[in-house]
Amino acid sequence: MRILKLLIFLLALVPVALLAWRAMAGELSANPIKDITEETGIWTLRFILLTLTITPLRKISGWAPLARFRRMIGLFAFFYGSLHFVTYIYLDQFFVLDEILRDVVKRPFITVGFAAFVTMIPLALTSPNRVAKWMGGKRWRLLHRLVYFTALGGVIHYLWLVKADTQRPLMYGGILVMLLAYRLWDYVRSHRIAEKSHSRIEANPA
Amino acid sequence: MLIKQADELHPSEITPENVYLNRRTFIRIASAAGIGLASSAVFPHLLDSQDRWPQGKKGPYDVSEEVNKFKDITTYNNFYEFGVDKGDPAENSGSFHPKPWTVHIEGEIKKPATYNLDDILKLSKIEDRIYRHRCVEGWSMVIPWRGFPLADLIKRVEPTSKAKYVTFETIYRPEEMPGQKRSVLEWPYVEGLRMDEARHPLTLLAVGLYGKDLLNQNGAPLRLVVPWKYGFKSIKSIVRIKFVEKEPQTTWNLLAPNEYGFYSNVNPDVDHPRWSQKTERRIGDFLKRKTLMFNGYGDLVSGMYTGMDLKKNF
């Protein structure tokens, strides 16, 4: 199990390693800062969606250990999101605060992107076991429902920044819709089962 | 096809001691002797390694900023006919055949006709111009175009008094332009200029850059260059030039009328609805720079727009 976790950890680092290598080898395009922004951004979205894939995969496959990877994948989403955010405020805006604030307020795609990033912060901070225990399972699970807004914000951020080609952001949106649809179906199904067992108990109180 | 140089050397002026292997001098001498193409085949590395066009104003319409590298100009392109990523046009335009090429010149003119490329090149003297090029996305380059003023073509075809606008159309050839198989934009790509903009001395019909014929990804074999407007107005691979009475439809305006206007003059005070136009990233620079009104061509072009509300007519 530990080896598998290590393997996945290393695999998750491959995108940033490749990006760094290409940057140093001069293999990025004529606009390397744009490339870095776009690469870190798309991997943030991919890791967010990957995080949301774990529970459906676990339930469908029945392989419970999958749950143990969810935190790591989620933290990698936060990692790539942070890289994307730092690239924007440093390489794009050079830490000029009022320019950044103006962008966040006036540019809808940046507003929603920034908001999506902000939702990841409490999720990252409450990821350690100790913190989750202190919070209690119920409150922790409620807080971590924020990830749905993170994912939605990420997709809308992408959709609102493309000039004409909405195909790719809509594709990610489609994946998100499927992942959410599964959860909805699963919730309805388990709710009905709970109802049935309740009504059976009521009919046979003994 | 040999592009005629503005200043041709006579073979009698060549002396062996003076033929120092300065790249551009070598090329000029070689082409004067009529072996320009042959030498580029024999010494291809000389042309390929020339990744900087010499800086400096030569003509009244040149800018003196550093010219971008040939590699960047020819591998970082927006040409959705070949794909929507910046590297796609260079990668996917290999099977596009820019020759033979014909252009239909029609509409409100005295002599509508179909021209082939060689006829068009005979309409004027070819010259080199170093222009700024500003993309609406917020990046820019400095490009040494090779072409002639559109005004010279206009003069030859004799527009009537009804001709108030010029429209342009890109070729529609999805078998060679894979991006056209998807309707990410409406094909064929169309653009237009007001007559005074079309006649302006800055407006160029370009057939080359960096002293060579246009590569497919840059709009071979014939494209427009309007340096004070956003780059998407500089339509590529032109097959039709039509003179019309009413303001024409343009492709990006059709897609998003509140984002891309007919004029699309470079203007730091008029933002794109979704992003700011105050600054731009000059390709090759690390820091961003302030965007200039009319892309720095204000003293040459602002006269065409006095009294116009540039926020409304964006």
- When pLDDT is cut at 50, 70 and 90, the band that residue B156 belongs to is very high
Candidates B66, B91, B253, B275: best to mutate against A (most CBs of A within 10 A) is B275
**Which are the contacts of A131, defined by CB distance < 8 A and separation ≥ 6?**
A125
Determine, for residues B76 and A30 on separate chains, whether the beta-carbon distance falls below 8 Å.
yes
Model pLDDT for residues B88-102, shown as the tens digit of each residue: 999 999 999 999 999
Determine, for residues B255 and A164 on separate chains, whether the beta-carbon distance falls below 8 Å.
yes
Helix, strand, coil percent values for chain A (each to nearest 5): 85, 0, 15
Query: Within this chain, do residues B72 and B89 fall inside the same structural domain, yes or no?
Result: yes
Query: Within this chain, do residues B73 and B148 fall inside the same structural domain, yes or no?
Result: yes
Query: Within this chain, do residues B63 and B42 fall inside the same structural domain, yes or no?
Result: no
- Closest by Cα among B91, B95, B293, B298 to B202: B298
Determine, for residues A31 and B76 on separate chains, whether the beta-carbon distance falls below 8 Å.
yes
What is the per-residue pLDDT for B27?
52
Determine, for residues A108 and B274 on separate chains, whether the beta-carbon distance falls below 8 Å.
yes
Query: Within this chain, do residues B3 and B69 fall inside the same structural domain, yes or no?
Result: no
Pick the more confident residue, B7 or A41. Answer: A41
Average pLDDT over residues A61-84: 95
Q: Is there a contact between B206 and B272 (Cβ–Cβ < 8 Å)?
A: no
What is the per-residue pLDDT for B43?
39
Query: Within this chain, do residues B74 and B147 fall inside the same structural domain, yes or no?
Result: yes
Percent of chain B with pLDDT over 70: 84
Determine, for residues A30 and B276 on separate chains, whether the beta-carbon distance falls below 8 Å.
no
Query: Within this chain, do residues B33 and B177 fall inside the same structural domain, yes or no?
Result: no
Q: What is the CATH number for B158? A: 3.90.420.10
Average pLDDT over residues B169-183: 97
- When pLDDT is cut at 50, 70 and 90, the band that residue B163 belongs to is very high
- When pLDDT is cut at 50, 70 and 90, the band that residue A1 belongs to is confident
Residue in A107, A109, A164 nearest the CB of B185: A164
Instruction: Go through chain B and tell me how many residues it has.
Output: 314
* For A159, nearest residue in chain B (alpha carbons): B274
- When pLDDT is cut at 50, 70 and 90, the band that residue A104 belongs to is confident
Determine, for residues B287 and A109 on separate chains, whether the beta-carbon distance falls below 8 Å.
no
Residue B312 lies in a domain: no
Determine, for residues B71 and A30 on separate chains, whether the beta-carbon distance falls below 8 Å.
yes
Domain with B270 in it:
59-305
Pick the more confident residue, A120 or B47. Answer: A120
Place of tokens 């005979």: B122
Query: Within this chain, do residues B16 and B75 fall inside the same structural domain, yes or no?
Result: no
Chain B residues closer than 8 Å to A167 by CB: 182, 184
Pick the more confident residue, B23 or B257. Answer: B257
Residue B310 lies in a domain: no
Query: Within this chain, do residues B128 and B4 fall inside the same structural domain, yes or no?
Result: no
- When pLDDT is cut at 50, 70 and 90, the band that residue A72 belongs to is very high
Query: Within this chain, do residues B127 and B200 fall inside the same structural domain, yes or no?
Result: yes
Cβ pairs bridging A and B (under 8 Å): 50
Residue A162 CA to residue B184 CA, distance in Å, equals: 12
Q: How far is B222 from chain A (nearest CA, A)?
A: 24
Concatenated DSSP letters of B143-154: EEEEEEEHHHHH
**Average per-residue pLDDT for chain B:** 88
Model pLDDT for residues A126-174, shown as the tens digit of each residue: 999 999 999 999 999 999 999 999 999 999 999 999 989 999 999 999 9
How many domains is chain B built from?
2
Percent of chain B with pLDDT over 90: 80
Concatenated DSSP letters of B120-169: HHTTS--EEEEEEEE-TTSEEEEEEEEEEEHHHHHHHH-B-TT--EEEEE
Query: Within this chain, do residues B10 and B97 fall inside the same structural domain, yes or no?
Result: no
What is the per-residue pLDDT for A178?
97
Q: How far is B68 from chain A (nearest CA, A)?
A: 10
Residue B175 lies in a domain: yes
- When pLDDT is cut at 50, 70 and 90, the band that residue B87 belongs to is very high
Q: How far is A165 from chain B (nearest CA, A)?
A: 6
What is the per-residue pLDDT for A120?
98
Model pLDDT for residues B19-75, shown as the tens digit of each residue: 444 555 555 554 554 444 443 443 333 444 456 888 777 789 999 999 999 999 999
Determine, for residues B87 and A29 on separate chains, whether the beta-carbon distance falls below 8 Å.
yes
The continuous run of DSSP H or E covering B113 comes out as: strand B113-116
Determine, for residues A107 and B184 on separate chains, whether the beta-carbon distance falls below 8 Å.
no
- When pLDDT is cut at 50, 70 and 90, the band that residue A51 belongs to is very high
Determine, for residues A94 and B288 on separate chains, whether the beta-carbon distance falls below 8 Å.
yes
What is the per-residue pLDDT for A96?
83
Query: Within this chain, do residues B10 and B99 fall inside the same structural domain, yes or no?
Result: no
| Strand pairing category for B212-213 and B204-209 | antiparallel
Q: How far is A55 from chain B (nearest CA, A)?
A: 34
Chain A residues closer than 8 Å to B283 by CB: 30-31
Percent of chain A with pLDDT over 70: 96
Cα-to-chain-centroid distance, residue B50: 20
Domain boundary among B29, B50, B71: B50
Query: Within this chain, do residues B21 and B110 fall inside the same structural domain, yes or no?
Result: no
Chain B residues closer than 8 Å to A165 by CB: 80, 84, 184
What is the per-residue pLDDT for A111?
94
- Cα three-residue angle B4-B104-B208, rounded to 5 degrees: 30
What is the per-residue pLDDT for B12?
54
Residue B218 lies in a domain: yes
